[in-house]
């Protein structure tokens, strides 16, 4: 008897799960299915699991393919299960290709190819709670998004749109999804839109998606003019749709723990905030060659301004931009200084100058510091006048962090607005206004092209 084992969450059980179990069963004579617990799912980075463990087990049993169902509770359990149940073949979906190669020392490992569109077009009839995501753009961040989305239950990446057909279909082939170079066809196949296209195209794509009744998650900066941000948020509200700006730091657990300490009075009244985020980009990158929409502040400004807006708010009395420019005139290093009624703040970012990137929040009783990469907050310290009095705090930051914003976005679509405070409409509008102010100053008052 050839014994096969597979594992999964099997949340919101749909046709894709059914076909996976069907093919796993076909590999041998006896199929064991391991269903993960909620606690283990959290430790491995799976977010937003909806169905209870018992419901998920029952759905696996009802498929008719499992000869035996076990519970997976801990990392490392797979090796012990393979030995315990005398397994010949371990199998999972091709999304995990390479991840479990270490098990080849114990049994045969088979990665089952994803059946294209099974867990996308058919699942809407099987389970209306699963949202089909369509991606606009096929660059670096879009690749990270697809990988992160698989860690959020209740969404499925259906397709990608790019007006450049070759780029769209190359991306689609890589991720085994559908490729589109026609917007109408793209909209007809999806429920929600993730926009990861160049900055200047965001406004047009957001407006178009909302007009087609789609919820929108857009990469930062969402738009570069405050008037446009206000218009789009108002239009989304009118259409009863969710418009969400994707600044991943805003949604990560560690950052919110840090903000909680800062806002609680632990370090007294906050009087100064200093933020810094720099990285060295290739000189031929889009960020350092686009004379209108490139440069360090447009690329990284959303991150460094976020803690300032969260803690000091939007009521600054004065804002000043100081920049170091590259040979082509683009800012390769920018420092923003803001004056508030009861405090001051500086935000520094760079793509061609490297600096110590940290977040410092100074108060009347002490200070909080998070070292780089604070935008992926996993650790911070609270210091007081007594140098020996230091409190240390940590929080997990899983993967690339995009799974947190996807999970909160999905929750809002499903009617749970408890995450709305993490990045409010007013804060997104203020960020767009600051981007607009920077572009006017940096471009010496010139009128830059309108986004389309």
pLDDT for 321 beyond 90: yes
Q: Are residues 264 and 370 both part of a single domain?
A: yes
Q: Are residues 133 and 39 both part of a single domain?
A: no
Going by C-alpha positions, the residue among 348, 381, 363 that lies closest to residue 275 is 348
pLDDT for 173 beyond 80: yes
Query: What domain count does the chain have?
Result: 3
At residue 39, the pLDDT reads 87
Query: What does pLDDT average to over the chain?
Result: 91
At residue 113, the pLDDT reads 83
Q: Is 169 within a domain?
A: yes
- Would you say the C-alpha torsion 341, 343, 347, 348 has a positive or negative sign? positive
Quick one: average pLDDT of 74-100?
93
Residue appearing with tokens 């985020």: 277
**Cα–Cα distance, 14 to 226 (Å, whole number):** 42
Beta bridge partners of 366: 384
Q: Are residues 127 and 230 both part of a single domain?
A: yes
pLDDT classification of 126: cutoffs 50, 70, 90: very low
- Would you say the C-alpha torsion 264, 267, 268, 271 has a positive or negative sign? negative
pLDDT classification of 186: cutoffs 50, 70, 90: very high
pLDDT for 443 beyond 80: no
List C-alpha distances in Å: 308 to 38, 105, 126, 266, 311: 35, 52, 45, 17, 5
**Cα–Cα distance, 251 to 247 (Å, whole number):** 8
pLDDT tens digits, residue range 219-269? Answer: 999 999 999 999 999 999 999 999 999 999 999 999 999 999 999 999 999
pLDDT for 192 beyond 60: yes
Share of the chain above pLDDT 90, in %: 80
The residue length of the chain stands at 452
Residue 226 CB neighbours (<10 A): 18
pLDDT classification of 84: cutoffs 50, 70, 90: very high
**Cα–Cα distance, 189 to 117 (Å, whole number):** 10
At residue 12, the pLDDT reads 86
Q: What is the pTM of this model?
A: 0.82
**Domain end residue (candidates: 247, 280, 306):** 247
At residue 414, the pLDDT reads 87
At residue 117, the pLDDT reads 56
Q: Are residues 8 and 103 both part of a single domain?
A: yes
Domain that holds residue 65: 3-112
Q: Are residues 386 and 291 both part of a single domain?
A: yes
Residues 6+ apart with CB under 8 A from 217: 192, 193, 194, 195, 244, 246, 405, 406, 409
Beta bridge partners of 350: 278, 333
At residue 119, the pLDDT reads 44
pLDDT for 125 beyond 50: no
pLDDT for 448 beyond 50: no
CATH of the domain at 183: 3.40.50.720
pLDDT for 120 beyond 80: no
Quick one: average pLDDT of 22-26?
95
């Amino acid at each position: 008897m050839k014994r096969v084992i597979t594992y999964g969450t099997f949340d919101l059980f749909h046709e894709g799960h059914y076909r996976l179990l069907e093919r796993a069963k076909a590999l041998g004579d006896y199929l064991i299915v391991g269903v993960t617990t909620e606690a283990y799912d959290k430790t491995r980075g799976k977010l937003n699991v909806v169905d209870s463990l018992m419901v998920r087990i029952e759905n696996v049993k009802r498929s008719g393919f499992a000869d035996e169902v076990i519970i997976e509770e801990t990392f490392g359990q797979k090796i012990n299960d393979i030995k315990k149940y005398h397994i010949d073949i371990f199998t999972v979906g091709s999304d995990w290709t390479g991840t479990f190669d270490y098990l080849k020392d114990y049994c045969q490992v088979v990665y089952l190819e994803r059946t294209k569109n099974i867990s996308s077009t058919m699942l809407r009839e099987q389970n209306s709670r699963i949202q089909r995501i369509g991606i606009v753009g096929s660059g670096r961040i879009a690749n990270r998004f697809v990988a992160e989305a698989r860690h959020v239950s209740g969404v499925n990446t259906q397709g990608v749109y790019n007006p450049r057909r070759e780029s769209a279909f190359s991306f689609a082939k890589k991720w085994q999804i559908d490729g589109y170079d026609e917007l109408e066809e793209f909209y007809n196949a999806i429920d929600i839109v993730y926009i990861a296209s160049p900055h200047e195209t965001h406004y047009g794509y957001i407006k178009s998606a909302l007009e087609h009744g789609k919820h929108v998650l857009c990469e930062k900066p969402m738009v570069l003019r405050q008037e446009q941000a206000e218009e789009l948020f108002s239009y989304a509200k009118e259409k009863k749709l969710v418009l969400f700006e994707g600044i991943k730091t805003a949604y990560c657990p560690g950052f919110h723990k840090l903000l909680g300490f800062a806002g609680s009075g632990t370090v007294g009244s906050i009087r100064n905030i200093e933020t810094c985020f720099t990285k060295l980009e290739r000189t031929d990158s889009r960020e350092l060659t686009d004379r209108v929409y490139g440069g360090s502040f447009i690329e990284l400004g959303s991150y460094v301004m976020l803690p300032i807006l969260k803690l000091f708010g939007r009521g600054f009395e004065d804002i000043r931009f100081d920049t170091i420019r590259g040979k082509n005139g683009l800012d390769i290093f920018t420092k923003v200084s803001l004056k508030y009624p009861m405090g001051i703040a500086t935000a520094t970012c760079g793509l061609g100058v490297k600096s110590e990137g940290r977040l410092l929040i100074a108060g009347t009783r002490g200070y909080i510091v998070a070292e780089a990469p604070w935008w992926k907050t996993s650790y911070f310290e609270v210091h007081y006048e007594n140098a020996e009095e230091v409190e240390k705090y940590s929080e997990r930051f899983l993967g690339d962090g995009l799974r947190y914003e996807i999970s909160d976005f999905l929750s809002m679509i499903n009617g749970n607005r408890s995450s709305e405070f993490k990045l409010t409409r007013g804060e997104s509008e203020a960020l767009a206004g600051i981007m607009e102010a920077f572009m006017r100053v940096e471009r010496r008052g010139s009128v830059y092209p309108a986004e389309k």
